[in-house]
Amino acid sequence: MKNNFDVVVLGAGAAGLFAAMRAGQRGRRVLLLDHAEEPGKKILISGGGRCNFTNRDCLPDRFLSQNRHFARSALARYTQHDFLELVQKHRIAWHEKTLGQLFCDGSARQIVAMLVAECEAASVDLRCHTRITGVTKDTHFRIATTAGAFTAESLVLATGSLSIPKMGATGFAHDLAMQFGLPLTEIRPALVPLTFGDTMLELMRPLSGLALESVAKAGKAAFREALLFTHRGLSGPAILQASSYWREGEMLTLDLVPDRDATAVLLAGKRARPKAEAKTILGDLLPARLAAAMAAQHLPPRTIGEIGDGDLRKLGAMLKAWALKPSGTEGYAKAEVTLGGVDTEALSSQTMVAKEVPGLFFIGEAVDVTGWLGGYNFQWAWSSGWAAGEAA
Ligand code: FDA
């Protein structure tokens, strides 16, 4: 009976490791399978190699979903404080960076090692290099793989979603959801850099690498963080956050000078230094390269004293609300997460089990729950993994 398990978890990423750990701790016989050569590959590259493993201010309204209340229950039952306690139990040094984001002092590898150690302690059978070739259900789930066939009472889908295909990301969980009749919501790349057409790129490309604090607004959401010019358009935390709320064809609005009255600064500069070049006065508001580019694009090539107040007012207003139309995103190749997934209407918010398919669970990024940048997505993986691990 060595191929029969109480629980089989597919996907040894953040959510799968956590669900397997919890189910194992409850005394369930757990098999955890992954097609990659090692577990937790996305954890290893996360947070610039230091893993932003949770957020101190992990509030449910910082998650996007068609049902914005869905994540509340799981997040309340396994919280950011619970995960921090686990990190501290394993003596992993950590620090808070900004906006409540908690990172390892050392390496993301410590988080993977912690999860693998917890799985080992809970007698989880972890097997990598294993491709799943098919799943069926009669009295039990039957899982066909390149390492043989397995049966299980409960099957937990934790294979993530489409972001970063070159790291092994697949739509496997979505395909399996459809096979078992569960609906999917619309999916698209999120926490992703935005691209721009040729005219705007003429301004942006030479500024590539330049960063400044700004407020990026898309839809009803606004994020005050760093914005970064790239050779394809815009990135940086403010843009990644806004990208989750942006839709094709819509505008993005940037305040490049938060807390400053740009018009007042330009008009005062004109009175005080009329012989100065406009880009010099703009340099009081913006980094020098951006000031020069904005002056060249939006003002006549004269000293500021020769430029009409109307033109300066127009530029001042634009710096506070620069309306831009992105042409698209850099897609799944660069997206930190996939927005959308298995429709939460089909799942129990308490346990993550499919309401119509007893024993079948979906967790982590595969589900239509997407967090903000800043440790929220890992917290969803831990919380949803815990919820499933308690019930599977
Ligand atoms: P995850 O993708 O982690 O795991 C899925 C697992 O399933 C993988 O191990 C994969 O190999 C396996 N798999 C897939 N298809 C399979 C198949 N067909 N058969 C078998 N196995 C299969 N979030 C955060 O909170 N803080 C951060 O610092 C970062 N940083 C970050 C950086 C980068 C570059 C990216 C791309 C993403 C982040 N994220 C993040 C997001 C975070 O990585 C993401 O939300 C979680 O990893 C999702 O966890 P899951 O376990 O759901 O999927």
- CATH code of residue 219: 2.40.30.10
Q: Is the CB of 126 under 6 A from ligand 1?
A: no
Q: Ligand 1 in contact with 255 (CB < 6 A)?
A: no
Domain CATH code at residue 50 = 3.50.50.60
* 213 and 115 co-located in one domain: no
- Domain membership flag for residue 193: no
Mark whether 179 and 36 lie in a shared domain.
Answer: yes
* Domain hosting residue 160, numbered range: 4-188+339-391
Q: Considering the domain boundaries, does residue 142 fall inside one?
A: yes
**Residue 362: is it exposed, middle or buried by C-beta count within 10 angstroms (0-12/13-18/19+)?**
buried
Question: Are residue 117 and residue 228 in the same domain, yes or no?
Answer: no
- Closest ligand 1 atom, CA of 40? 9
Mark whether 40 and 121 lie in a shared domain.
yes
pLDDT of residue 375: 98
> Domain total for the chain?
2
Question: Distance between CA atoms of 175 and 157, rounded to whole angstroms?
Answer: 11
Low-confidence ranges of the chain (pLDDT < 70): 1
* Angle at the Cα of 68 from the Cα atoms of 366 and 44, rounded to 5 degrees: 40
Q: Is 196 contained in some domain? A: no
Residues 83 and 150 in one domain: yes
Domain contains 194: no
pLDDT of residue 112: 98
Residue with tokens 């989750």: 244
> At which of 330, 348, 367 does a domain end?
330
Q: Are residues 44 and 163 in the same domain?
A: yes
Does residue 128 lie in a domain region? Answer: yes
Ligand 1 near 168 CB (within 6 A): yes
For residue 136, how many C-alpha atoms fall within 13 Å in the half-sphere facing its CB?
3
Residue pair 20/7 in contact (Cβ under 8 Å)? The answer is yes
Start-to-end CA distance of the chain, whole Å, equals: 20
Q: Is 230 within a domain?
A: yes
pLDDT at residue 389, rounded to an integer: 98
Give the Cα separation of 76 and 190 in Å (integer). 24
For ligand 1, whether the C-beta of 331 sits within 6 Å is no
Residue 290 resides in a domain = yes
pLDDT, tens digit, 9 for 90 and up, residues 293-339: 999 999 999 999 999 999 999 999 999 999 999 999 999 999 999 99
> Domain for residue 126, yes or no?
yes
Residue 2: predicted pLDDT? 80
Same domain membership, residue 126 and residue 66: yes
Please report the ipTM that was assigned to this predicted complex: 0.99
Task: Give the whole-angstrom CA distance, residue 131 versus residue 116.
Answer: 20
Same domain, 42 and 133: yes
Counting from 1 in the atom list of ligand 1, the atom nearest the Cα of 36 is 11
- Confirm or reject: Cβ of 158 under 6 Å from ligand 1: yes
Tell me, using a 6 A CB cutoff, whether residue 11 lines ligand 1.
yes
The pLDDT assigned to 66 comes to: 97
Q: Is 212's C-beta closer than 6 angstroms to any atom of ligand 1?
A: no
Asked if 61 and 180 sit in the same domain, the reply is yes
Answer for the pair 74, 384: CB distance below 8 angstroms, yes or no.
Answer: yes
Tokens of 195: 């691209």
**Phi, psi (5° rounding) for residue 90?**
-90, 10
Q: Which atom of ligand 1 is nearest to the CA of 50?
A: 28
**This prediction's pTM:** 0.97
Question: According to the model, what pLDDT value does residue 269 have?
Answer: 97
Q: How many residues does the chain have?
A: 392
Residues 130 and 207 in one domain: no
pLDDT at 1: 54
For residue 378 and ligand 1, the question of a CB distance below 6 A is answered with yes
Nearest CA to ligand 1 atom 53: 160
Best residue among 33, 42, 240 to mutate for probing ligand 1's pocket (most ligand atoms within 8 Å of CB) is 42
Token pair in block for residue 4: 């029969």
Q: Is 337 in the pocket of ligand 1 (CB under 6 A)?
A: yes
The two tokens of residue 261 are 């009255």
Among 305, 330, 355, where does a domain finish? 330
Are residue 57 and residue 157 in the same domain, yes or no? yes
In this structure, are 248 and 316 located in the same domain?
Answer: yes
Q: Ligand 1 centroid to 155 CA: how many Å?
A: 19
State which of 289, 306, 330 marks the end of a domain. Answer: 330
Name beta bridge partners: 144: 134, 149
